[in-house]
């Protein structure tokens, strides 16, 4: 048995730009003459991927990043413009909503059609028909034309067919984004059992919760190219950080420059004063240090703050709140330093800020901000990890699980 189910190397996909009907004719003419189509739109460029038996891989990225195109190339729905794909095994694919269904046929007839396409005999279909109908759970609509189905019912039927086939490789494109919550839970339970039994999954989803729950690895596509590929927690956290920063820039715009009485001359995170985002692990130490220049020698009030990349405040504290005076190494310079042991921020993207205020803590003169990425494996929700323990009852006794 071949352990390598999918081998894709240097995949690329381009489409001719066709804004008017005449553009299509010109593109067809260029193809017939064997000329390169320079007036084309590239949606996928130089993507390589290997999927081995038993793996679970997520494909993430913004809308238009090339995720669905990659899946269609793997399943053979599209032919690559560059590169090649080799598939060893039976694929069960849930791509575009309703793809493969005949709208005039009933659900039952579409099951028979899908079974024939997958190579099932009449006897095999007879053995699995009741299982498919029960999983879809669409009641009497099973004998109604598919064109009368809601989007959720179409997904129910499609997933039920694939679930009964138990393919070597399951490929799904946003199937968990459609349908009611109870059916989503049923799909999740089936996928977990499928993976637990040695199944292989290639999943496209915008839900990082489902991605982290179901997949061990992830590939992040950005404008048709691989931005990052590796451990699912590393890739999803990097993607969320990038997305939050992009949103923050769009919402916040440029910040006004500082005044002159107090200025931040240097800002360090764990001893690094560079402008690149800093990386720390969940539970590690975080040390912040700011050098402040004072025009007339007066001591400033210094505040350190942590915020999520989209601007949501997490924590802030000032030297005045804790009754701590910044040190005074020179006549017109001050240093404020703070340390957080066992950093409780959950994995994700954050901004660390230092604010300098006047001696009374009333007027803000300058703010400097640095990016901070917290790395680690965690499926907890929120922004911070709070110390906690579970209380269980066992034989009349309380058992504590820290």
Question: What does the pLDDT read at residue 254?
Answer: 46
CA neighbor of 132 nearest in space, from 147, 151, 113, 150: 113
Tell me what the mean pLDDT of segment 372-392 comes to. 87
Across 131-149, average pLDDT: 90
Pairwise CA distance, residues 253 & 372, whole Å:
19
Choose between 355 and 260: higher pLDDT: 355
Tell which wins on pLDDT, 395 or 381: 381
Between 390 and 174, name the one with better pLDDT.
Answer: 390
User: Looking at residues 103-115, what average pLDDT do you find?
Assistant: 90
- Identify the pLDDT of residue 6: 93
Give Rg (Cα) of the chain.
28
pLDDT tens string 50-65:
999 999 999 999 988 9
Pull the structure tokens for residue 65: 């990043």
Q: pLDDT band for 255, please (50, 70, 90 cuts).
A: very low
Q: Give me 287's structure tokens.
A: 């040390």
Per-residue pLDDT of 272-311, as tens digits, reads 988 778 899 999 999 999 999 998 888 999 999 999 877 7
Q: What is the second-level CATH architecture of the domain 262-375?
A: Sandwich (2.60)
**Confidence (pLDDT) at 35:** 59
Lowest mean pLDDT among 155-164, 210-219, 248-257, 322-331: 248-257
Q: What is the mean pLDDT of residues 124-153?
A: 89
Amino acid 187: pLDDT = 86
Domains 4-245 and 262-375 share a fold: no
Domain boundaries, given as residue ranges, for the chain: 4-245, 262-375
- Quickly state the pLDDT bin for 256 (edges 50, 70, 90): very low
What pLDDT was estimated at residue 349? 85
Enumerate residues 6+ apart whose C-beta is below 8 A from 253: none
Residue 26: the pLDDT is: 64
pLDDT of residue 117: 82
Q: Is the pLDDT of residue 379 over 70?
A: yes
Could you count the other beta carbons within 10 Å of the beta carbon of residue 399? 11
Contacts of 280 (CB under 8 A, 6+ apart): 270, 286, 343, 372, 373, 374, 375
Decide which of 367 and 260 is more confident.
367
More confident residue, 334 or 238: 334
- pTM value is 0.64
Q: Is the per-residue pLDDT at 80 higher than 70?
A: yes
Report which of residues 80 and 2 the model is more confident about.
80
Reported confidence tier of residue 246, pLDDT bands at 50, 70, 90: confident
Confidence bin at 364 (pLDDT 50/70/90): confident
Tokens of 5: 């189910």
Alpha-carbon gap, residue 128 to 115, rounded angstroms: 10
pLDDT at 19 (0 to 100): 58
Tell me: the pLDDT tens digits for 12-34? 998 876 556 666 666 666 666 66
Identify the helix (H) or strand (E) that includes residue 333: strand 333-340
Fold assignment, 4-245 = Rossmann fold (3.40.50)
Better pLDDT: 240 or 171: 171
């Amino acid at each position: 048995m071949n352990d390598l189910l999918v081998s894709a190397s240097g995949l690329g996909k381009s489409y001719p730009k066709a804004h008017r009907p005449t553009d299509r004719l010109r593109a067809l003419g260029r193809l017939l003459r064997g000329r390169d189509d320079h007036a084309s739109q590239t949606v996928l460029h130089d993507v390589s991927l290997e999927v081995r038996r038993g793996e679970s891989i997520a494909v993430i990225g913004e809308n238009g990043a090339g995720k669905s195109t990659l899946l269609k190339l793997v399943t053979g729905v599209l032919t690559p413009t560059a590169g090649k794909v080799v598939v060893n095994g039976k694929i069960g694919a849930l791509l575009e909503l309703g793809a493969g269904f005949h709208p005039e046929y009933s659900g039952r007839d579409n099951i028979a059609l899908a079974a024939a396409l997958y190579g099932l005999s009449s006897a095999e279909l007879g053995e699995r028909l009741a299982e498919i109908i029960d999983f879809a759970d669409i009641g009497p609509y099973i004998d109604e034309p598919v064109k009368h189905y809601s989007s959720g019912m179409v997904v129910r039927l499609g997933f039920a067919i694939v679930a009964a086939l138990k393919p070597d490789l399951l490929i799904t494109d946003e199937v968990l984004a459609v349908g009611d919550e109870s059916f989503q839970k049923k799909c999740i339970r089936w996928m977990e059992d499928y993976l637990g039994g040695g199944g292989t999954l290639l999943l496209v989803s915008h839900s990082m919760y489902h991605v982290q729950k179901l997949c061990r690895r992830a590939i992040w596509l950005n404008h048709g190219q691989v931005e990052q590929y590796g451990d699912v927690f590393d890739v999803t956290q990097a993607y969320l950080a990038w997305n939050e920063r992009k949103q923050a820039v769009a919402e916040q715009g440029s910040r006004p420059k500082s005044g002159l009485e107090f200025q931040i001359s240097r800002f360090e995170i764990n001893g690094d004063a560079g402008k690149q985002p800093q990386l720390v692990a969940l539970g590690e130490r975080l040390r912040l240090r700011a050098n402040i220049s004072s025009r007339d020698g007066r001591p400033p009030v210094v505040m350190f703050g942590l915020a999520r990349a989209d601007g949501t405040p997490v924590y802030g504290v000032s030297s005045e709140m804790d009754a701590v005076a910044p040190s005074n190494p020179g006549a017109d310079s001050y240093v404020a330093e703070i340390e957080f042991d066992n950093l409780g921020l959950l994995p994700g993207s954050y901004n660390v800020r230092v604010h300098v205020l006047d001696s009374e803590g009333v007027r803000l003169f300058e703010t400097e901000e640095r990016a901070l990425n917290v790395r680690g494996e965690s499926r907890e929700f929120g922004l911070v990890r709070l110390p906690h323990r579970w209380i269980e009852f066992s034989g009349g006794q309380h058992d504590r699980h820290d």
